[in-house]
């Protein structure tokens, strides 16, 4: 046999060994991939995908859990659109929390973070103090705030801390939960107390703004406000976009606040989540409640998509 | 020309520097003043409630505010434990928190490791699926989940509150995977040469390096389960099984039709204490923050 054939054979053999080894390696990689990700995949199918689809189907059914479900078409959605006492009022409240609450949280959170961004002496103490209220959650905080916001007796005597503080400036505090115009701001105020928590997002964003850009602005004669508005804000738009999107999604899911610190009339404060909860777990109207869930979901999707669409015009990404 | 310029600036600097230095100091003082006022404003609600929990009933809502109680009612904190079954609620809550924590940490680490280290043509697409599930709000899946648990006869048990934690939350997978990607693969290789299998690499090499992010996730998991209200409200109906949040929610302490405000304050404050301790413990880990722009590109 000529030598060169030998050589080719040898070569072929080694390639075959190599590919076989590569194949078994790839096989092991793929087996490990499925093995390690399986907890999420199983959970996704059982607790997300399947419930997601079935809630869509349920929203076209009438079902009280006891008797078999009945297909009713779009009846649930029609019924919802005609429910002026709960659905429309609670939708209105939810939109209030989103449209007033989210911008307020972003502006105040950013303002606090700008104050805390300069590494001056003792800044860690201030950061901890401003962050602290965000650590607290659950029922207890809201309970305490019902007392903090207590308007006191009819003539404004014996108020909670907030109205007492307003009194220092000669302001007669509002009735908060007992006043139709102030019940929703009362709910938002508790959230604003925890606004320091957002420094986790803002501080790294502010720190990432290049110093030389700000100095260049200073040399060009821009004042502090102009430098912040024209240089810092455009550079932190990804963080603003993130906070806006997450904030809106979160505000559509407000539940605990209106349940624990309701207005004198629940219709002043109740959110869509509360109607959903009541229909599902108090009245066992599973189909109707599912329809509410889908209305919430579609609204969140719409807002997020609109947000995403317009983000191309105002969100700055480094790669651009 | 350039020499002239230099001379001019040299001449100009001292005056300018002095005035800017003064301005800077004024600005710094102003910054401290605003920060201090803000800090007081943020702390006052806490101080008012702590002082309120120690006051005799008639002193809580007085104007002007009496910050220091005339007579410290320390026994309010003692009474707290006899007025309602505080320790039973704490025990119930701790059972849920402990099992949730184990499940969430274990499953998130495994799944994140799968996404960070093993090549597969579906790795990318599946990871995008993980991220997109974060967009699905809980309420869409809540009702069918309830019906599933009902089929399994899990209603009025802790299982619906614990078991979902064993299937890794998307946000935790995301954070851990991003962190794991920054760990050099050479470390895996050297461990492999020493005879470690993939699980050994995870436990001995990857997990110790992920400690800061694991602590952060752990604190979040503990805090969110400790504070969970809607879950227990949906699934628990026997009062003996209530969590602390449910206990506080139903607590209406009072005598002769008068609300026992001091006790309500005290009960709420005690409930917040674990969050405070967790924060003190984990402060250095999660105060470093999360960078948005960079993190999302991954």
- CATH for A283: 1.10.3720.10
Yes or no: say if B181 and A96 are a contact pair by the CB < 8 Å rule. no
Substitution target in A119, A147, A291 with the highest count of B β-carbons within 10 Å is A147
Q: pLDDT at position A281, please?
A: 94
- What's the CA gap between B108 and B121, in Å, rounded? 21
Please tell me the distance in Å from B185's CA to the nearest CA on chain A. Answer: 15
B144/A42 touch (CB, cutoff 8 Å), yes or no: no
A319 inside domain? no
B289/A199 touch (CB, cutoff 8 Å), yes or no: yes
Yes or no: say if B115 and A40 are a contact pair by the CB < 8 Å rule. no
Q: Are residues A51 and A88 in the same domain?
A: no
For residue B262, what are the contacts with CB-CB under 8 A and spacing of at least 6? B52, B53, B54, B55, B56, B57, B60, B73, B76
Q: Hey, is the C-beta of B164 within 8 angstroms of any chain A C-beta?
A: yes
CATH number for the domain running over B76-297: 1.10.3720.10
Substitution target in B125, B143, B258 with the highest count of A β-carbons within 10 Å is B143
B133/A48 touch (CB, cutoff 8 Å), yes or no: yes
Indicate the range of A2-6, A128-132, A294-298, B205-209 predicted with least confidence: A2-6
pTM for this prediction: 0.86
Q: Are residues A160 and A282 in the same domain?
A: yes
Q: Are residues A36 and A87 in the same domain?
A: no
- Can you tell me whether residue B254 is helix, strand or coil? strand
A129/B46 touch (CB, cutoff 8 Å), yes or no: no
Q: Are residues A215 and A280 in the same domain?
A: yes
For residue A157, what are the contacts with CB-CB under 8 A and spacing of at least 6? B63
A50 inside domain? yes
Please tell me the distance in Å from A9's CA to the nearest CA on chain B. Answer: 31
| Mean pLDDT confidence for A301-308 | 90
pLDDT per residue over B203-216, tens digit each? 999 999 999 899 98
Structural domain including A306 reads 77-314
A64 inside domain? no
| Mean pLDDT confidence for B120-138 | 92
A200/B287 touch (CB, cutoff 8 Å), yes or no: yes
pLDDT per residue over A83-124, tens digit each? 988 899 999 999 999 999 999 999 999 999 999 998 899 998
Closest CA in chain A for residue B29: A120
Mean residue pLDDT of chain B comes to 87
- What's the CA gap between A97 and A264, in Å, rounded? 18
Scanning B212-241 for CB atoms below 8 A from A yields 223-224, 226-230, 233-234
pLDDT per residue over B76-98, tens digit each? 999 888 888 999 999 999 999 99
Q: Are residues A158 and A305 in the same domain?
A: yes
Contacts of B248 in chain A (CB under 8 A): 138-140, 143
Q: Are residues A165 and A287 in the same domain?
A: yes
Contacts of A293 in chain B (CB under 8 A): 139-140, 142-143
Mean residue pLDDT of chain A comes to 89
Q: Hey, is the C-beta of B125 within 8 angstroms of any chain A C-beta?
A: no
Per the structure, how many domains does chain A have?
A: 2
| Mean pLDDT confidence for A258-270 | 92
Q: Are residues A169 and A258 in the same domain?
A: yes
Yes or no: say if A119 and A294 are a contact pair by the CB < 8 Å rule. no
* Closest Cβ opposite residue B230 in set A193, A256, A294: A256
B268/A318 touch (CB, cutoff 8 Å), yes or no: no
**More confident position, B109 or B17:** B109
B137/A157 touch (CB, cutoff 8 Å), yes or no: no
Predicted ipTM of the assembly: 0.85
Q: Hey, is the C-beta of B63 within 8 angstroms of any chain A C-beta?
A: yes
Q: pLDDT at position B4, please?
A: 45
B140/A293 touch (CB, cutoff 8 Å), yes or no: yes
- What's the CA gap between B109 and B172, in Å, rounded? 8
B120/A255 touch (CB, cutoff 8 Å), yes or no: no
All CATH 1.10.3720.10 domain ranges of chain B, comma separated, are 76-297
Confidence of residue A13 (pLDDT cuts 50, 70, 90): low
For residue A259, what are the contacts with CB-CB under 8 A and spacing of at least 6? A274, B229
Distance of CA B181 to the CA centre of its chain: 24
A72 inside domain? no
Contacts of B170 in chain A (CB under 8 A): 40
Q: Are residues A94 and A138 in the same domain?
A: yes
| Mean pLDDT confidence for A14-41 | 84
Confidence of residue B134 (pLDDT cuts 50, 70, 90): confident
In order, the DSSP letters of A60-107 are TEE--SSSPPEE-TTHHHHHHHH-IIIIIHHHHHHHHIIIIIHHHHHH
pLDDT per residue over B168-184, tens digit each? 999 999 999 999 999 99
Q: Are residues A148 and A288 in the same domain?
A: yes
Q: Hey, is the C-beta of B84 within 8 angstroms of any chain A C-beta?
A: no
């Amino acid at each position: 046999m000529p030598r060169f054939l030998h050589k080719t054979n040898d070569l072929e053999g080694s390639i075959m060994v190599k590919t076989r080894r590569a194949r078994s390696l790839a096989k092991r990689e793929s087996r490990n991939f499925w093995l390690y990700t399986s907890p999420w995949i199983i959970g996704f199918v059982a607790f997300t995908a399947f419930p997601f689809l079935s809630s869509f189907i349920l929203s076209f059914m009438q079902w009280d859990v006891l008797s078999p479900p009945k297909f009713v078409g779009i009846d649930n959605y029609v019924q919802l659109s005609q429910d002026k006492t709960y659905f429309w009022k609670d939708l209105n409240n939810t939109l209030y929390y989103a449209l007033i609450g989210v911008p307020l949280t972003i502006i105040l959170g950013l303002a606090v973070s700008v104050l805390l961004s300069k590494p001056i002496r003792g800044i860690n103490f201030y950061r901890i103090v401003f962050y602290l209220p965000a650590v607290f959650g659950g029922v207890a905080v809201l309970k305490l705030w019902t007392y903090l916001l207590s308007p006191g007796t009819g003539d404004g005597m014996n108020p909670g801390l907030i109205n007492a503080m307003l009194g220092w400036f000669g302001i007669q505090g509002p009735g908060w939960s007992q006043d139709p115009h102030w019940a929703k701001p009362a709910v938002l105020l508790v959230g604003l107390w925890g606004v320091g928590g957002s420094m986790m997002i803002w501080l790294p964003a502010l720190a990432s703004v290049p110093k030389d850009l700000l100095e260049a602005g200073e040399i060009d004669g821009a004042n502090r406000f102009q430098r912040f508005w024209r240089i810092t804000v455009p550079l932190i738009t990804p963080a603003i976009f993130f906070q806006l999107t997450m904030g809106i999604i979160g505000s559509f899911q407000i539940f605990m606040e209106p349940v624990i610190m309701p207005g004198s009339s629940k219709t002043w404060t109740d959110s869509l989540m509360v109607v959903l909860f009541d229909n599902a777990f108090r009245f066992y109207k599973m189909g109707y409640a599912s329809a509410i869930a889908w209305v919430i979901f579609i609204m969140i999707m719409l807002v997020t998509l609109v947000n995403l669409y317009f983000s191309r015009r105002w969100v700055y990404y480094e790669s651009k | 020309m350039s020499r002239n310029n230099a001379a001019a600036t040299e001449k100009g600097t001292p005056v300018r520097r002095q005035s800017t230095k003064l301005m800077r100091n004024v600005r710094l003082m102003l910054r401290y003043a605003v920060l201090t006022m803000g800090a007081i404003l943020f702390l006052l609600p806490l101080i008012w409630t702590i002082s309120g929990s120690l006051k005799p009933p008639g002193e809580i809502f007085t104007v002007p505010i009496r910050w220091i109680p005339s007579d410290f009612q320390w026994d309010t904190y003692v009474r707290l434990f006899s007025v309602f079954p505080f320790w039973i609620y704490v025990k119930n809550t701790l059972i849920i928190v402990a099992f949730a924590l184990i499940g969430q940490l274990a499953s998130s680490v495994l799944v994140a490791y799968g996404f960070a280290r093993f090549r597969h043509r579906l790795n990318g697409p599946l990871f995008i699926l993980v991220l997109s599930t974060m967009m699905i709000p809980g309420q869409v899946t809540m009702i069918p989940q309830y019906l599933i648990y009902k089929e399994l006869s899990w209603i009025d048990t802790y299982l619906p509150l614990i078991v979902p934690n064993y299937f890794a939350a998307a946000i935790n997978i995301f954070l851990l995977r991003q962190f794991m990607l920054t760990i050099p693969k050479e470390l895996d290789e050297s461990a492999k040469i020493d005879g470690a299998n993939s699980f050994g690499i995870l436990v001995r090499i990857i997990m110790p390096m992920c400690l800061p992010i694991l602590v952060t996730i752990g604190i979040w998991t503990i805090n969110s389960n400790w504070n969970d209200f809607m879950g227990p409200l949906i699934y628990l109906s026997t009062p003996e099984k209530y969590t602390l949040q449910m206990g506080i929610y139903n607590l209406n302490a009072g005598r002769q039709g008068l609300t026992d405000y001091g006790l309500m304050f005290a009960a709420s404050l005690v409930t917040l204490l674990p969050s405070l301790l967790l924060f003190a413990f984990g402060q250095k880990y999660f105060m470093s923050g999360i960078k948005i722009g960079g993190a999302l590109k991954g």
